[in-house]
Amino acid sequence: MAEISIEGLVKTYPGGTERATDDVSLDVADGEFVVLLGPSGCGKTTLLRMLAGLELPDAGKITIGGRDVTYQPPHQRNLSMVFQSYAVFPHRTVRTNIGFGLAMRKVPAKAVAEKVEWAADLLQLTPYLDRYPAKLSGGQRQRVAVARAIVMDADVLLMDEPLSNLDALLRLSFRADLKKIVQDLGTTTVYVTHDQGEALSLGDRVAVMRSGRIVQLGDPLDVYDRPADRFVGGFLGSPPMNFLPATVADGQLAVAGHSRPAPAHLPAGDLLVGIRAEHIGLSDDGIEAHVEVVEPTGAAVLLTTRVGTEVLKVSAPPTFRARPGDTVRLDLAPDALRYYDAETQLALSP
Ligand code: ATP
């Protein structure tokens, strides 16, 4: 069993004024795939490097499979890492690159060869086994790095933005391959990315980080559907969640000039309403909005509209035709409205 338990990890770099991680706690179940998601500088890589043993925390504790590894060196943690830069040895063939870690462990040559062929097959590298990395594409090099990591039969797989050097199309196809491989292996995995699409598609759970802290942890679709605060709603999703000022008075919620009954848990006064672009419909008696930008995406038409001084992104059906300057009428699906405190911007839960 290789469950990970992280408790109260604090790390400040020498000379740094801010904490790179600020009291981070996280449990990862055996075989679970957890994605650390957040903007640049939020502490994702630092957290991963402390898990790997490449950085030591100032305070806190890390256990893997029940064993306290907080101050153990990387090689005593039985984990494999894949980094953003391909980090393959240029002067070794794909075959020797993939088998390198096993050979270092003095695994017999026959067993190494079998394992290398197994991984090469999984990662579609069999035709390239005798090539040198210089003659591989970026995607193939990154496949070599993943193959090299998975042959080690590690308890834990750590990945830091492994897809970010690949072009958009390759990222998508490799992402699905990676998901299948890790699913089939069942290895406990922690994966760092700033790409919300990657986080949603790969993770069993997503931990959204900001300023050295985990601000929300949960099932990707729950986090997408019910952001814990405005930051998460804005960071997750493309386009980001829309936020509109609103007011509750006399049991009525006034938003964008329209009134509707307010949910009982909302306090009277000012608040923020969040709604995703796909939950805004077009209807004849809806809120009047002016179309500013029309972006067909193939699967939908993304409209940037203005309602008074507020901008609302609307995902319209792919057949919808509009031009900048048009007036449309918008309907906010009541069940999809999310409510946030106007000051703290934290979700107001029922
Ligand atoms: P990115 O996506 O840009 O890699 P990140 O979320 O992984 O960002 P970290 O690399 O963990 O963030 O950095 C967290 C904070 O710690 C940042 O403020 C960063 O400037 C600082 N930091 C990171 N590495 C070092 C270092 N070696 N020395 C000093 N400060 C560092």
Q: Tell me the average pLDDT across 107-116.
A: 94
Q: Tell me the average pLDDT across 286-300.
A: 95
Please indicate whether residue 38, judged by its CB atom, sits closer than 6 Å to ligand 1.
Answer: yes
| Ligand 1 atom nearest to CA at 11 | 16
Q: What pLDDT sits at residue 111?
A: 94
Measured in degrees and rounded to the nearest 5, phi and psi for residue 264 equal -60, -30
| Ligand 1 atom nearest to CA at 42 | 6
Residues forming CATH 3.40.50.300 domain(s) in the chain: 4-230
> Is residue 255 over pLDDT 90?
yes
Q: Give the distance (Å) from ligand 1 centre to CA of residue 338.
A: 32
Residue 255, token pair as written in the block:
């938003």
Q: What pLDDT sits at residue 164?
A: 83
| Ligand 1 atom nearest to CA at 47 | 11
Residue 279 to residue 167: CA distance in whole angstroms: 31
Residue 222, token pair as written in the block:
């729950």
Residue 273 to residue 256: CA distance in whole angstroms: 10
Q: How many residues does the chain have?
A: 350
Residue 304 to residue 295: CA distance in whole angstroms: 8
Please indicate whether residue 207, judged by its CB atom, sits closer than 6 Å to ligand 1.
Answer: no
Greater confidence (165 vs 265) lies with 265
Please indicate whether residue 44, judged by its CB atom, sits closer than 6 Å to ligand 1.
Answer: yes
Bridge partners for 330 per DSSP:
282
Q: CA angle, corner 333, sides to 331 and 337, nearest 5?
A: 120
Greater confidence (211 vs 139) lies with 211
Please indicate whether residue 40, judged by its CB atom, sits closer than 6 Å to ligand 1.
Answer: yes
CA-closest residue to ligand 1 atom 2: 40
Residue 89 to residue 86: CA distance in whole angstroms: 9
The CATH architecture assigned to 4-230 reads 3-Layer(aba) Sandwich (3.40)
Q: What pLDDT sits at residue 87?
A: 76
Burial of 196 (0-12, 13-18, 19+ CB in 10 A): buried
> Is residue 350 over pLDDT 80?
no
Q: Give the distance (Å) from ligand 1 centre to CA of residue 52.
A: 15
Please indicate whether residue 20, judged by its CB atom, sits closer than 6 Å to ligand 1.
Answer: yes
Q: What pLDDT sits at residue 1?
A: 66
Residues forming CATH 2.40.50.140 domain(s) in the chain: 242-341
Q: Give the distance (Å) from ligand 1 centre to CA of residue 207.
A: 17
Lowest mean pLDDT among 32-41, 59-68, 100-109, 204-213: 100-109
Residue 216, token pair as written in the block:
């929300």
- The string of pLDDT tens digits covering residues 13-66 is 998 889 999 999 999 999 999 999 999 999 999 999 999 999 999 999 999 999
Residue 67 to residue 4: CA distance in whole angstroms: 9
Please indicate whether residue 286, judged by its CB atom, sits closer than 6 Å to ligand 1.
Answer: no
Q: What pLDDT sits at residue 166?
A: 79
Candidates 48, 12, 63; CA nearest to 211 is: 12
CATH 3.60.40.10 describes domain 242-341: no
Q: What pLDDT sits at residue 86?
A: 64
Q: What is the number of other CB atoms lying within 10 angstroms of the CB of residue 217? A: 18
In this prediction, what percent of the chain has a pLDDT beyond 90?
Answer: 79
> Is residue 260 over pLDDT 70?
yes
CA-closest residue to ligand 1 atom 3: 40
Q: Tell me the average pLDDT across 318-332.
A: 95
Q: Give the distance (Å) from ligand 1 centre to CA of residue 186.
A: 29
Greater confidence (114 vs 173) lies with 114
Residue 117 to residue 221: CA distance in whole angstroms: 36
Predicted confidence band of residue 207 (pLDDT cuts 50, 70, 90)? very high
* pTM for the structure as a whole: 0.92
